[in-house]
Structure 1
Amino acid sequence: MGGLAGHVALGLFFLLIGLWHLHNHSTHRHSGLPWFPTSFLRHLELYLIMLGCSVFAFSEVRHPPFDHNGSFLSARLHNLEHASMAAAFYTYALFALVLDKTRPRAHEDLVFLPAAVAFAQELLLFHFHSTDHAGVEGRYHYLLQLVIIVSLTTTLMGVGSVGRQSFFVSYVRSLSIVFQGLWLVVMGVMLWTPEFFPRGCFVREENGRDVVRCQDQGSLDRAKALVNIGFGWLLIGVVVLGVCFHLVADRVHGGGKEGISDDRQGFLQLHVEKGFRPVDTVEE
């Protein structure tokens, strides 16, 4: 995942998956699962995840990671970390496919386990990343972890009938996936395009990879502050995107004031079946 191309490609993949989820939420196709089927090929999303993870993992380990004595090369550790993240998401997609085909008991809850493990693996490896933790790239990684925590938390909240039926939980999870994709694209562009380097910062090669360094502490502090500001602006933009996306799609596909919500329908049906009588109809 090193360099401009790797970060942008991975970011676009996350972005497309997230937008696909938002589209399904906004067209009233809430499935209660962490993935969405398509009309012409039910498991297309899962197949694409497995394909993308396979390509990504092989691109990371295409160079031998071992030294002449059989030990791991320090310069290749970050490649193994990236491949491990891809393996976790591949495992999630594979088990989601198997569970949907076999339909064992509690399969709708069980599918959230490999999904949560994939996000947990991603969080763990970014938190203990073998590359930069203190520089500009480290600040990008730190802020990315905050978004991954949201993805992980909302995935765990999806377990159980209440969580699966919660539109808000699923929608926030989808937005967090969109945010991950956008932030990876921003990271790739800002860290590997010299025209966008903060003032006083430059790129140099360390352990076989290009790293952004700053000439003094003042330049580093300024660069980190700019990253924080950019993250805040992107957060606002993602929230605006999510709300506007839903408003437009809801108007196009019907909904809003013309219908009654599923939660309200369930509430009325429950009390009608139990012989519920409104208070204002009770005789004095």
Structure 2
Amino acid sequence: MGSLVGHVLPGLAFFLLGFWHLFNHIKLHSLHPNPYTSPTWFPTPKSRHLELFLIMVASSISISMELFISPARHQPLDPDGTIPSTHLHNFEHSSISMTFFIYAAFAIILDKISPKAKHSLTQFIAAVAFAQQLLLFHFHSADHMGVEGQYHLLLQTVIVVSLTTTLTGIGLPKSFMVVRCSSDEALQRAKSLVNIIFSWTLIAVIIFSMALYLVLAKLYGEKMDYLTLKKEEDLELEVEEESDGFESQKEGKLYAVMDIER
């Protein structure tokens, strides 16, 4: 089905990035539910653009593996300068990585320049990256059949969801097994098992996401309530101090008037 470098590691990278976004979206919404705006990436305390730098590094490693490290001659072209058919999929995979590299690079540039359309432009570039990924997986040069083809089909479903939610963020900012089948019956059974595993994985993701949301909402929600209560108490204390000061001034003026009358 594929190598560790070509499938498992990129999948792990996307999983970690998705978990990072899930955590931060829930945290941000719990802390600021009313002015919440869905960002494309999240800054970190020590390095504002760490997420984007990591995307660029991972994309560069992916491109290097596909075009220069994995090929036997450590370069993807034939002696006559043409692209061999056996390396077409390497160029397709590296093109996806290149687009995500460009997204991260321009996201940093837009954040530094900070134009009015910064949010929409960043979301648009991310949407283009997902659209290109969907296109290349759908019209893949390697005709994935059987169980591997089923995985690719389900992967396209996930990409469609990512593309849709990214596009939605523009207009509404506030809102893996190697299997060999000996017969057609075994192939159909394997496809059904893939669908079942995908469904179970989806259910697990839903349960995990909701549990994480409830925990973080309770954690950061309580902090928000505490901060709000503290601000109200500080405000009441300021009002009382101002009132006491005003009363003292009135008493001082009254005594002064009495002294003058005497």
TM value normalised by structure 2: 0.77
Matched ranges for 1:234-245 at <5 A? 234-245=201-212
1:27 and 2:27 correspond: yes
Q: Which residue of 2 aligns with 1:207?
A: none
Q: Please say which structure displays the higher CA radius of gyration.
A: 2
| Cα separation, 1, equivalents of 2:222 and 2:88 | 50
- Contact 1:96/1:111 (CA < 8 Å) preserved in 2? yes
Q: Which residue of 2 aligns with 1:43?
A: 49
| Cα separation, 2, equivalents of 1:11 and 1:26 | 22
The structure carrying a bigger strand percent of its residues is 1
2:42 maps to a residue whose letter is F
Matched ranges for 1:93-242 at <5 A? 93-160=104-171, 163-166=172-175, 187=176, 190-191=177-178, 197=179, 201=180, 214-242=181-209
| Cα separation, 2, equivalents of 1:244 and 1:72 | 48
2:207 maps to a residue whose letter is V
Q: Which residue of 2 aligns with 1:90?
A: 101
1:61 and 2:67 correspond: yes
Q: 1:256 to 1:136 in 2, by over 3 A?
A: farther
Q: Which residue of 2 aligns with 1:269?
A: none
- Other structure's SS at 1:6 match: helix
Deviation at 1:22, TM superposition (A): 1.4
Unaligned runs of 5+ in 1: 167-186, 192-196, 202-213, 260-284
Residue among 59, 69, 77 paired with 2:88: 77
1:130 maps to a residue whose letter is S
Instruction: List 4+ stretches of structure 1 deviating above 3 A.
Output: 255-259
Aligned positions, number = 215
Q: Which residue of 1 aligns with 2:242?
A: none
- Contact 1:250/1:256 (CA < 8 Å) preserved in 2? no
Deviation at 1:31, TM superposition (A): 5.1
| Cα separation, 2, equivalents of 1:144 and 1:87 | 19
Q: 1:47 to 1:257 in 2, by over 3 A?
A: closer
TM value normalised by structure 1: 0.71
Q: Which residue of 2 aligns with 1:12?
A: 12
Deviations 1:85-139 (A, max 9, x none): 1001111111111100001121111111110000001101110111133221111
The structure carrying a bigger helix percent of its residues is 2
| Cα separation, 1, equivalents of 2:124 and 2:191 | 35
2:45 maps to a residue whose letter is S
Deviation at 1:4, TM superposition (A): 2.7
Deviations 1:174-224 (A, max 9, x none): xxxxxxxxxxxxx1xx13xxxxx3xxx2xxxxxxxxxxxx22211211111
Deviation at 1:6, TM superposition (A): 3.1
Matched ranges for 1:241-260 at <5 A? 241-255=208-222
| Cα separation, 1, equivalents of 2:48 and 2:225 | 30
Higher relative contact order (CA 8 A, sep 6+): 1
- Contact 1:53/1:87 (CA < 8 Å) preserved in 2? yes
Please report the RMSD computed on the Cα atoms of aligned residues, expressed in angstroms: 2.1
| Cα separation, 2, equivalents of 1:118 and 1:60 | 18
- Contact 1:78/1:129 (CA < 8 Å) preserved in 2? yes
Q: 1:257 to 1:83 in 2, by over 3 A?
A: closer
Q: Percent identity?
A: 50
- Other structure's SS at 2:205 match: helix
